Amino acid sequence: MDRHLAQFNIARIRYPLDDPRMADFSNNVARINGLAEQIDGFVWRLQDASGNAMNMQVYGDPRVLPNLTVWENVEALERFVWKTLHSRFYGRRAEWFEHIETPLVLWHIEVGHRPTMQEGVERLDHLKRHGDNDFAFGWKHLAEAQHYKTARCGAPTEHAA
């Protein structure tokens, strides 16, 4: 295969990361990142010296957490998102994050390319402005994506604070 799949997503936290209400999320970031790295088809993820990207700022908002990864194919990404422990944390996202209308973008990249945060932002902004196309797209644009259709991937319900 001559291309990989990049994914960039953002989440705006409801509370500071050291708030007790964020403990289940914060205490499991390394665990979930480690799980991703063990999935057959995982290629790379953006991280700083802390081992994650939560200290990196995007959109000028310190409450927005970025996540940028590269996968060999959509099947590998779907396996991680929907068929591992990650799905349980994803199901609890309304407890920790505010709703964002378009939080995720996917795009194909050449094998060996490591996208930058800026590239992820540009792709997400493009998707918001123009909708799904070959430059930037969501799950539904990928015919081979199947698990997202049956997973709870709609807008999270509001969590009572």
* Domain-embedded: residue 156: no
User: Total domain count for the chain?
Assistant: 1
Which residue range is the domain that position 102 belongs to? Answer: 3-150
pLDDT at 159: 35
CA distance 91 to 123: 25
pLDDT at 125: 98
* Domain-embedded: residue 51: yes
* Domain-embedded: residue 158: no
Long-range pairs of 148-156 with CB within 8 A, sequence gap ≥ 24 = 148/78, 148/81, 148/82, 151/81, 151/82, 151/87, 152/91, 155/99, 156/93, 156/94, 156/97, 156/99
pLDDT at 122: 98
Q: Domain holding 36: CATH number?
A: 3.30.70.100
* Domain-embedded: residue 160: no
Q: Which residues contact 36 (CB under 8 A, 6 or more apart)?
A: 42, 45, 69, 80, 86
Q: Which residues contact 133 (CB under 8 A, 6 or more apart)?
A: 141
- Block means of pLDDT (10 residues each) for the chain, length 161 residues? 93 97 96 96 95 92 96 94 92 96 96 97 98 93 64 42 30
